[in-house]
Structure 1
Amino acid sequence: MSDYLLLNTLQMTVSRESVQQLLSSEDFGNRLSGVNLLRQLEPSIAYELIQPIVTDGNARVRYAAVSQLDTLGDQDLSLTLTLLRDRLLNDSEPDVQAAAADALGALKMTEAFEEMKQLYHQSSEWLLQFSIVAALGELADPRAFPLLEEALSSETSLIQTAAISSLGELGDPRAVPLLVPFATDSDWQVRYRVAQALKPFDTSEARAALEALANDSVEQVAQEAKRNL
């Protein structure tokens, strides 16, 4: 059956069998469609079918599969940790590695902290570093503080911004004097993130920064600061 006929036939019904047929296709477009259709199956079935696909030969298919583990992974957390660690450390594509970091953060898998820390320092890929920094905020692991402090000095503004947010999520009061200087950053989006990040901190320094941000010339920043005072 041609790829076109296969896709159109399987669009008639979504079942374990029909999705498995797509996932077994030699055409990567069919396999990609199969990964997307997993969302329509019972999570336990989808999780079983997705496992071999995270090592698919096509990077787009692997990315789609790994990205779904943040919602399917709780079916078997131990196995999911193994799958995500493998893709984080061994995948040849940075965007797949980044998707693995995202999923590890979403599932709060602090067991992977050391690997993420190591990879942040080893990799020169900004997307992967960005995903690791963002994931560390979700992990809320106290061990992340030194790395997040380091990320504030990154030459990549998106990594800096992610570090600001993650320091807020971490909630370590040592973050306040690190965050306050960014409250006067020329980029309003950075100031907005600072207004968000200072919310957990009940200190005079944090409050003073929020009061200043409440008078920011950009309405979004001012409103966020007022909400967090």
Structure 2
Amino acid sequence: MSDAPEEKFSQPDPAATALLAQQLESPNLRDRMVALASLRNVPADVALPSIKKVLNDESLQVRSMAVFALGVKVTPESYPILIDILANDPDYGIRADAAGALGYLEDIRAFEALVRAFYEDTDWLVRFSAAVSLGNLKDPRAFDVLMQALDSPEIVLQQAAIAALGEIKAVAAIDKLVTFIESEDWLVRQRLAESLGQLNTPKSISALKYLTKDSHPHVSAAATICLQRMEAGES
């Protein structure tokens, strides 16, 4: 389970909560979206019934917001609802949202479901979200999956895998990671710098020093910051 600090809220106003619930039933799309956004100020257990109301909304935007809300409004129901959506929703965007929300939960029970989504889902966006969330779980068992993702033809999957390997502290992946140091995609190189910054080894430091001279300012800045953190003992 997540060890994130619990949200702290003042006692919810029943009238305000009732108004939000009413807005979520409005035929006006904007009303429903504003009401969902307003739930960020409501405790998770109070927000959940309202979130559940719109999980099957006719609008994909509203459904997407509701699924995301399940990842940040953590209750005992959040996990099983998201697992069901990831496995069964017909819309790939909603499945991707569910995979991402499971990463926000940081619930280690999601590991197998995310691995299954990575291997079995046919849409790259779902696989991308699954790879990112495997990094969020920080479970070293994700190593083999993420190493396979590095060989994906989709660059965004490579980016996700590079970042996630840093998150799980996969020192054994360094030899493979540094092969991306000359990637034509600057975001790949930036993710590489950020990942190497979490893997404090001589080879990582050498690669980071090289990346500080990268032609793209975001890459060189990321590498410089990572080296400074390493020197300060923060990695």
Matched, 1:174 2:175: no
Q: 1:26 to 1:227 in 2, by over 3 A?
A: closer
1:107-118 to structure 2, matched below 5 A, reads 107-118=105-116
| TM-score of the two chains, using structure 2 as the length reference | 0.83
Matched, 1:95 2:98: no
Q: C-alpha distance in 1, partners of 2:224/2:41?
A: 41
Q: C-alpha distance in 2, partners of 1:80/1:42?
A: 14
Conservation of the 8 A alpha-carbon contact between 2:193 and 2:226: yes
Q: C-alpha distance in 2, partners of 1:65/1:164?
A: 29
180, 197, 200: which one pairs with 1:199?
Answer: 197
Moved more, 94-103 or 183-192: 183-192
Conservation of the 8 A alpha-carbon contact between 2:23 and 2:35: yes
Q: C-alpha distance in 2, partners of 1:36/1:25?
A: 15
Structure with bigger helix share is 1
Provide the residue aligned with 1:41 in structure 2.
42
Q: Which amino acid aligns with 2:126?
A: L
Provide the residue aligned with 2:187 in structure 1.
189
Query: Structure 1: which 5+ residue stretches go unaligned?
Result: 1-13
Query: Structure 2: which 5+ residue stretches go unaligned?
Result: 1-14, 228-235
Q: 1:123 to 1:217 in 2, by over 3 A?
A: same
1:154-169 to structure 2, matched below 5 A, reads 154-169=152-167
Q: C-alpha distance in 2, partners of 1:223/1:22?
A: 45
Q: CA deviation at 1:204?
A: 1.9
Matched, 1:53 2:54: yes
Secondary structure of 1:215's counterpart equals coil
Matched, 1:106 2:104: yes
Q: C-alpha distance in 1, partners of 2:173/2:160?
A: 14
Deviations 1:154-197 (A, max 9, x none): 11111111111111111021111111011111222211111111
Number of residue-to-residue matches in the alignment: 213
Provide the residue aligned with 2:18 in structure 1.
17
Conservation of the 8 A alpha-carbon contact between 1:130 and 1:162: yes
Provide the residue aligned with 1:225 in structure 2.
223
Q: CA deviation at 1:219?
A: 2.7
Deviations 1:69-98 (A, max 9, x none): 22212xx2x311111111111111111111
Conservation of the 8 A alpha-carbon contact between 2:71 and 2:78: no
User: Matched residues, percent identical?
Assistant: 34
Q: C-alpha distance in 2, partners of 1:205/1:43?
A: 44
Q: C-alpha distance in 1, partners of 2:28/2:216?
A: 49
Q: Which amino acid aligns with 2:209?
A: E
Q: 1:227 to 1:34 in 2, by over 3 A?
A: closer
Q: C-alpha distance in 2, partners of 1:67/1:228?
A: 30
Matched, 1:70 2:68: no
Conservation of the 8 A alpha-carbon contact between 1:15 and 1:41: no
Alignment RMSD (CA, Å): 1.9
Q: 1:210 to 1:44 in 2, by over 3 A?
A: same
Provide the residue aligned with 2:125 in structure 1.
127
